[in-house]
Chain A
Amino acid sequence: MSLLHLAIILPFVVAIIIPIIYKWTKKIHTGWLVLPVPIILFIYFLSFIPKTMNGSTVETFQWIPRYGINFTVVVDGLSLLFALLITGIGSLVVFYSIYYLGKNKERLNNFYAFLMIFMTAMLGVVLSDNLIVLYLFWELTSISSFLLIGYWYHRERSRYGARKSMMITVFGGLMMLGGFIMLHIMTDSFSIREILAASEAISQNALFIPAMILILLGAFTKSAQVPFHIWLPDAMEAPTPVSAYLHSATMVKAGIYVVARFTPLFALSPIWFWTIAIVGTTTLLWGSINATKKNDLKAILAYSTISQLGLIMTLLGIGAASLHFDNLSDDIYVLAIVAAVFHLFNHATFKGSLFMMVGIIDHETGTRDIRRLGGLMRIMPITATIAFIGTFAMAGLPPFNGFLSKEMFLESLLNLTKLNLWNADTWGILLLIVGFIASVFTFTYSMIIFFKTFTGKQKAYLLPKKPHEAPFGLLLSPAILAFLVLFIGIFPNVIAAPILEPAVKSIVPSLATNADFHIHIGLWHGITPALLMTVGIVILGTILYKTHRFWKPFITTRVPKKLRIGKSYDKGMSYLEQGSYRFTMTVMTGWLRTYLNYMLFAFIVLVLGSLILTDSLNLKFENLTSVTLVDFVLAAVILVTLIGIVFSKSRITSIILLGAMGYTISIFFVIARAPDLALTQLIIETISVVLYLLVFYHLPQFSNIEEKPRFFSVKTFLSIGIGITITLVALSAYDTTFYDSISQYYIDNTYKEAAGKNIVNVILVDFRGFDTLFETTVLAIASIGIFTMIKLRLTKRRDKNENQ
């Protein structure tokens, strides 16, 4: 157990301790006690920067070595970037939540325990090298996120959102587990590094594509890609710090992480490239269009998160092309990876600050509805500044960091049209157009967020609270993030060498050995096509914003109704519930006769089917004994009694006929020279007939058997089927004597070994006395059962007690 392992486990340990401390420290806000944890971790992970610039750090802790499942932690560029985001934004969110959540109103112990579990889970996901451990932490993020979304569990919407996100992300998680197991089958290893090293060999395997699709399903569900994005808007029912942390900066990027992590392996296939690029751009467009129609600030941000995740996903898809070029000078597609990593970082900063800004507005005005907000710039100047930086960075305007990554995004799309691989040069233009349109909508909703909230007329009469500027504590975290947005926007190269470069190198392994590879992000690099596109985006976006109220009804009312995926989820769930309910109600009728029919039918199908399919129907009549007249007579008697039983209309007749049949069988035993059996059969038949008469004497009179048994019913067919099946099996089994009977041994040894002459009895009590032992036990149990059933009448006694 190294320090790194302890670092991952630390928040979890704190999560265990929090509820205990919470009881004793009612005076202090629990958040203050939690705050040091992410800060310490952040500083600790900062110390890895020099190491990851030159290579990766690996620590192993043996967990289940027998199955190759070890808690191996690897810190390379990609993991470190994520770890820094998780701990850094984690610290800010914890600080923010101290001021956001009231000390006495909320169950803080739950909140911080869930949050810390989530932090451990997230660190575990990004730092694990072992697939199974990764999956473990992956599910832990789903569970802790479920708990956090449902934090205000008394609200119906919260519970709905939590359940929805759980269903979708766990579905994806399970798919991903399937993919991981396939990877293990192909490589016999759970270690990601070993699997990536064997990528060339795996890519020819038949399981390669299924594994890829399953892992992508996991990544898409977690990262809210179309059509799995529907859980994210509903997850906005969580407290705002949670939304800021989980649903903008960290958890939704877990899918991005997995895609980036497996890029060196799966990028060898064009399916990977196209799937990610198409799903990414679709998500980008879908999210940005939907964001413009929402009235709730948080919903706009949720859709904008979806859209931005789609953007990063697209970039990773395009970046997959870079693995197909060895010559670096040709390799303009690494730029896409750089852009993805850079935008990942940027998005975490500005989206975090925007969520916190929305939280402040919600906190100070009591609403998040943009129709009721407006003109807050005067009242909340600092919040407005933060919002300005965040929204303009999101829209992709200089001098903020969003501008740089958006430029790189557009350039990557432009490069795509030049890609001479997989028909990308012909179809890539479509992606470029979609990306451009989505960027226009992105610009539009960013403007909506800022201008509708902070400019225009003030509608104080619509606000539940009298608005005022937020306290310092609430403002600090978003201010730090906004400062980062601005700072990185102006000095992007500060993070280029220490953080982005190692991250890109771990996504594109061929660069790792290349000493010449350096990222340089220029704020100004001449009038490029990308810049011109940005100008176009700004112009078109402004027009769209100005005409927003004209076209908004169109997309809210007409278009989405057919395309609303959330609706089909709800419908699907209710169909699933109703369908299974209906299925159960039709199949499980509660009638024993129905179940008996099922069983008999299954028996016929299975036995007769296997008899025919395995060609074991074997009707030979060679070793038969001769049949005498007595046999015929007895068989005829049995047949007659049988028909009588089936068609008799009175119970007494049936019972007597049953007795007659039993006696005939005992005569059969006599003929077959089985005196013991004949004796026993006679007496048992007598006793059972007596018992039948006793029992049936107490039954109510016949009334329901009056109905004539229909001849052609399911029952008839099943009975005939069973009869035929058993007969065929018996006849087929009759002649197949593979071995001599063992009875000769008994004949020889009954007297010699067991000192008896009645073979049957000697077998019963001596050779195979064990069976007899338990048959007597069965009898004893039966008698005690009858005794208790008749004597023990608890309900009656209780009634008596109640009457007294």
Chain B
Amino acid sequence: MPTPSASSDPILDRLASSDCAVKFKAIREVKNHIIGNRTKKHSYIKLGAVPAVAAALADSDPNLIVQSAAALGSFACGVDDGVRAVLDAGAFPRLIGLLSAHDEKVVDAAARSLRMIYQSTLAPKYDFFQEETMQFLLSLLESENENLTGLGAGIVIHSCKTIGEQTILCHAGVLEKLTSLLDSSLSQRDASLESLAAIIRDNPAAVSEFVELHGGRALHSVAELTKDRYPRTRLLACLCLISVKNSSTCYLQDIGIKTKLVYILLELLDDSGQVGDEASFAFSSLIAEKEDLQKLAFEANAINKFNCLLQKHPVQPKRLEGVFLALADLCSKLECCRSSFLSLQVLNLVVDALTHEDASVRTAACICLRSVSRSIKNLSAGRFMNERVVCPLVQLLSDLSTSVQVAALGAISNIVVDFMPHKSTFIECGGIKELVQLTKSMDSSLRLNAVWALRNMVFLADKICKEGIFVELTASSMASLICDPEPSVQEQALALVRNFVDGCVYSVEHAFAEDGIILDAVGRQLKKSTKIEIGIQGMYVLSNIASGNEFHKEAVMQLLFPQDENVSHSFFEQFLQSHDSRLRTAAVWVVVNLTFPANPGAFGRIVNLRSFGIVSRIKKMVNDSCMDVKLRARLALGQILTFGDS
């Protein structure tokens, strides 16, 4: 009677068979099952088929090796679990070794398999800095075999990330080799374009070398490929040109090429596959931070294009994210783009996306909202401060993703600037409590953005609104934020205090709550910090306090000129002499308010200011190179002289 099988599945028996014919058929069967079928792929991975298939790479039969390599490549294609299984089976070094086989079919199969693996981020990083491995890469790129050259390009695409790697590849002559491959087949051409983009991205030296290749013919070849019949080739060519364009102000700056790139990318958005998904990200890299490109895109009707894309349902998360980020860049600087965005009712679609299940989409929607809400005209019209927009944003403040939280804070920072004193909508949505909570976060980017949002919210806020925030935040928390380890948080905290103590005279009292802990923190920070912006904000805090009543003015004097301290090295003297005119201006405003004539204590303060050398400093500043400083100094001096010049 036949012996019972030791294995739980017949396929594994056949994969492990000592009969080559049986094993061959089994491997081919697995390969045919998994091609284009992720479910089958995962089933076989769980079954443990990958190690059995990989074992065949060590066989002596070339046909068996080819089938094994092909199957492994299929496992690795587009499935990270597959890549992991192939690597865990120890197949990678064996496939590398097979590249040197005598049998052409074996080499081809191994190269194709490795290309699949290198499309995954899980593939081992290639070390370009080793002479031996660099020579190996160069031999791949020099090969007559298209599978080998394609693998070489794939390695560059995968592993070239740092400027050091870019530089060493340039020195090794890789740019030239890749350029010579642009005349090859479709897949080779695309691989070359993509690897060229990897080498020159954000690297002016690499771009310069590339542009000079063959007297500019290499660049011309890439430019020609923007007209290729294949969408992916056009996209990759555009990405190369964008890298060249973004790296310096010398290349590709004429309006013709800019307009052409805008139109090509807008057209590629219509591709329903991966090209369409990636086109919007390419579009963002083209126009980001560039007002002239954004203008061109606006004139090319880009806003309407993106709006139409959003109207199609359903939109995949990746595409949705890309469109929102592109709209964010488009609306980042130009008011005409924001007007178009708002008139097309795109805002509703963005607001809906704030509750999307994908965190990347939520983040992108917030970033888009932040850009659009930089419109003072529409902020003033109350376009964003309503429940429909505010409530989902407040919900995102407790999102599980930090990047969503930071992006939501950025949008809120703008939306709360509605120039209305009460901010009732935001308060009713529970926003203040959430913001205050985030100011205590361990993550400094959350603290920074939360304080920033509060600072903007308190701008021109009325007494009730300020009181509500102050009670929730507390004076001691504000003092902690002023002394935060992050200078940027310190700066925003001081700006927050500045806004708190502006407005009616009563507002100044905020600085004196809890025994003046806030004012003490301000004083300590001003003595310690060397950052100009902190000095500026701090001076305006003191200036605003000094515009209060007699008690407030004397408190500022005490802080600037403590009884027991050597005043000749005071920070105030340094601020008055700062090289930054904004800081000089802010410091003089303090003097203006301390010497404001309609106050009984003004004379006494002038006497003190004179004894500390401040008056003589002000006299020099009446001829300051900056008009604002000069005019404030003259105002201060005029007030001082009304009490006589002794």
- Are A and B physically bound partners? no
